[in-house]
């Protein structure tokens, strides 16, 4: 993990709040993510994870508070934020009726890469994922595990400063998940900050730091070891259950 | 860090980003063979259907003549009717006794009952009464048949009226003015273009956009540096091209199969079609923005655009015969204006000088809807 010399934090969140009518989905959360860090963003369904992530990637305007992503304010500099982030949604985000090559070319083009850069990255991506034979196969007919690895590779095709992964490993087998995390580490090593939400608590152990969201607030934040020590659990799973259980005080 | 700066995205180069998006959209269209085939074939099938099956003009009208006092003049009238392929005189009787039976056995559609001493009356210049009995069990064709015979009678009269003599007593139905042969294909084709363009642009855009919404790819596009208007333009351009191709196809088919005239400028007609397509496309985008599934978008587009186009545009049912409260409502149906334009150009040879009002309305609608469609994308973000 290398910390960027030019600025300390890839993500700075200060009192970020989102209300829907009288319901407060995200309640004044504050945290920082260092450049090059793999940051796990955990929380039960309905805890406000998705709302928070949507504010950070500029899909949703905050009701109060502020957030800076890749050095830009999400409220006032949304366009610059968009250029400097990658995003992989929990729903599969490639076009099934396009080939692998066409998907890569499309996203390269959308992010303004030159034809030369696209060809170069496609070659290295194909080598890394061993996709050579499937380059002209339509995405719908390649296995789910590969699809997800491909979706991740496409999300970081333009070398974003920060990549947001919203439950990227849903529904894939443990071996593929393991491979997926190897891709995440490789990306982080090159200096890209990884912001990942997950339901799999074993994956939380892979993160540099994790936060656990409960009812719109951040109930705990620290390295997996710190959290286990502080809340007294064998695994992050224990910590999570303790915090997220109804009635549990943070 | 240094290894990444080379590929860092700066401002997305607009043409290439948009180009990549349009290419992808074309891939979608071409890959979906079934839909594409339907889109290209359906207009042709519709041209044939509307041209042949749905025609309201009547051919081979069987006329029963009742002529109590046959003479040169009544024979001349009879010959006149027979000389056109539209009429066939099935019987000539001296009394009306057989008429009831003929109608019941459906051997006659129209009975033309002349008075006694028809020729004398005409010669004196009197108002000569003629009774026209029509089998109106189908009111639509009944009216049509009646107006045909009236027209034939009027022709006959003007033939007889030598210069400076004999007044004209029967009025010609004004509906025939620009469509003297009463070819319904001529009237249907402009409406058909509107219907097909609505289908391709509004329905297909709504479906394809809501598909991206449903599959989650729209979210990825919205997070990308593409601006909402670029996404809309990228979505809309390929369908604009498809709509243009289909318009040409329908025009060609109408010309080859039914010899539908194009009296005005082809360029103007195509330009107006593009304008109308933009209106429909924007409607499709709006429908997709307001719905959450492909199915809902399809229903929305059908009910919101296809139905008004088919029913309220004057394509099939004349606006003038609608109830008074409904008529103002047709003004918000874009197809209503486009059909006036298309009919004007194709049948009357009208130019922009005459059709500027309708064109302005369409252009206003296009502007308004485009802005609304782009807004509806921004609205999603709050």
CB-CB under 8 Å, B10 with A97: no
List chain A residues with CB under 8 Å of B20. 105-106, 108-110
- Give residue-wise pLDDT tens across range A98-126: 999 999 999 999 998 989 999 999 998 88
- Give residue-wise pLDDT tens across range A23-41: 999 999 999 999 999 999 9
CB-CB under 8 Å, A109 with B219: no
- Residue B136: the pLDDT is 63
DSSP 8-class letter at B200? I
Per-position pLDDT tens, chain B of length 382:
334 444 444 444 456 788 888 888 888 888 888 888 888 888 788 777 766 665 556 667 888 888 888 888 888 888 888 887 788 888 888 888 887 778 777 788 888 888 787 777 777 666 777 787 777 665 566 677 777 888 788 788 777 776 555 554 533 333 333 344 445 667 778 888 888 888 888 888 888 888 888 888 888 898 898 888 888 888 889 999 988 998 898 888 888 887 888 888 999 999 999 999 999 999 999 998 888 888 888 888 888 888 888 888 887 777 777 788 888 888 999 999 999 899 889 888 888 888 999 999 999 999 999 888 888 876 554 4
**A101: nearest CA in chain B?**
B24
- Residue B1: the pLDDT is 37
Bridge partners (DSSP) of residue A20 are A23
**Alpha carbon A77 to its chain's center:** 20
Domains and CATH numbers, chain B: 16-54+183-379 (no CATH), 61-176 (3.40.1710.10)
Whether chain A has a CB inside 8 Å of the CB on B293: the answer is: no
CB-CB under 8 Å, A83 with B23: no
- Give residue-wise pLDDT tens across range A185-233: 999 999 999 999 987 888 888 999 999 999 999 999 999 999 888 888 8
- Residue B170: the pLDDT is 37
- Residue A23: the pLDDT is 93
Q: How far is CA B60 from CA A117, B63, B85, B86, B101, in A?
A: 72, 9, 7, 5, 20
Residue B291 CA to residue B210 CA, distance in Å, equals 7
Domains and CATH numbers, chain A: 1-84+161-250 (3.40.50.300), 89-159 (no CATH)
| Biggest alpha carbon–alpha carbon distance for chain A | 56
Tokens of B184: 């319904």
User: Could you give the count of Cα atoms lying within 13 Å of B295 in the half-sphere of its Cβ?
Assistant: 0
A58: left (phi over 0), alpha (psi -120 to 50) or beta: left
- Residue A250: the pLDDT is 43
List chain A residues with CB under 8 Å of B230. none
- Chain A, window 124-183: residues with a beta carbon less than 8 angstroms from a chain B beta carbon: 158-160
In 3D space, the residue among A8, A37, A2 whose CA is nearest the CA of residue A211 turns out to be A37
């Amino acid at each position: 993990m290398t910390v960027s010399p030019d600025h300390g934090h890839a993500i700075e969140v200060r009192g970020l709040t989102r209300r829907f009518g009288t319901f407060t989905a995200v309640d004044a959360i504050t945290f920082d993510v260092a450049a090059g860090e793999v940051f796990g963003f955990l929380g039960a369904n309905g805890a406000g994870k998705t709302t928070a992530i949507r504010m950070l990637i500029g899909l949703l305007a905050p009701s109060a508070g502020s957030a800076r992503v890749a050095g830009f304010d999400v409220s006032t500099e949304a366009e610059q934020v968009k250029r400097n982030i990658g995003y992989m949604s929990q729903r599969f985000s490639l076009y099934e009726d396009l080939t692998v090559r066409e998907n890569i070319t499309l996203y390269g083009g959308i992010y303004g890469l030159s034809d030369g850069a696209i060809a170069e990255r496609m070659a290295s991506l194909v080598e890394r994922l061993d996709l050579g034979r499937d380059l002209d196969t339509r995405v719908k007919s390649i296995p789910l595990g590969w699809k997800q690895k491909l979706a991740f590779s496409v999300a970081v095709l333009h070398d974003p400063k920060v990549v947001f992964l919203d439950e990227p490993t849903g529904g894939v087998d443990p071996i593929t998940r393991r491979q997926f995390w190897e891709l995440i580490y490789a990306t982080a090593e090159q200096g890209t900050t990884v912001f990942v939400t997950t339901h799999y608590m074993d994956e939380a152990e892979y993160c540099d730091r994790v936060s656990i969201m409960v009812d719109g607030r951040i109930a705990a934040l620290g390295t997996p070891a710190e959290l286990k020590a502080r809340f007294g659990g064998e695994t992050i799973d224990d910590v999570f259950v303790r915090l997220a259980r109804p009635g549990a005080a943070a | 860090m240094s290894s990444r700066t080379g590929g860092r995205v700066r401002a997305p180069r607009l043409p290439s980003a948009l180009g990549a998006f349009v290419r992808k959209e074309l891939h979608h269209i071409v890959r979906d063979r079934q839909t594409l085939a339907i889109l290209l074939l359906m207009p042709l099938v519709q041209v044939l259907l509307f041209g042949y099956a749905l025609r309201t003009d009547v051919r081979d009208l069987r006329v029963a003549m009742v002529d109590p006092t046959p003479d040169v003049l009544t024979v001349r009238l009879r010959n006149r009717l027979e000389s056109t392929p539209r009429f066939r005189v099935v019987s000539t009787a001296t009394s009306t006794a057989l008429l009831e039976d003929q109608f019941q056995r459906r051997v006659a559609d129209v009975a033309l009952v002349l008075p006694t001493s028809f020729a004398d009356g005409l010669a004196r210049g009197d108002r000569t009464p003629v009774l026209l009995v029509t089998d109106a069990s189908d009111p639509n064709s009944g009216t049509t048949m009646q107006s045909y015979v009236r027209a034939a009678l009027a022709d006959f009269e003007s033939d007889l009226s030598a210069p400076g003599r004999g007044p004209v007593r029967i009025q010609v139905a004004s509906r025939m003015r620009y469509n003297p042969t009463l070819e319904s294909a001529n009237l249907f084709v402009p409406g058909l273009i509107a219907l097909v363009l609505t289908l391709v642009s509004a329905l297909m855009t709504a479906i394809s956009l809501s598909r991206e919404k449903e599959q989650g790819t729209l979210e990825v596009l919205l997070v990308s540096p593409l601006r909402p208007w670029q996404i809309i333009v990228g979505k809309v351009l390929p369908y604009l091209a498809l709509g243009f191709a289909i318009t040409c196809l329908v025009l060609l088919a109408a010309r080859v199969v039914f010899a539908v005239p194009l009296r005005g400028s082809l360029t103007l007609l195509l330009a107006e079609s593009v304008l109308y397509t933009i209106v429909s496309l924007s409607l499709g985008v709006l429908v997709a923005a307001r719905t959450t599934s492909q199915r809902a978008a399809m229903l929305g587009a059908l009910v919101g655009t296809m139905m008004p186009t088919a029913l309220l545009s004057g394509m099939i049912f004349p606006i003038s015969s609608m109830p008074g409260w409904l008529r103002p409502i047709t003004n918000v149906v874009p197809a209503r204006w486009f059909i006036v334009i298309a009919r004007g150009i194709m049948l009357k040879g009208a130019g922009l000088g005459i059709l500027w009002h309708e064109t302005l309305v369409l252009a206003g609608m296009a502007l308004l809807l485009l802005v609304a469609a782009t807004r509806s994308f921004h609205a999603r973000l709050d």
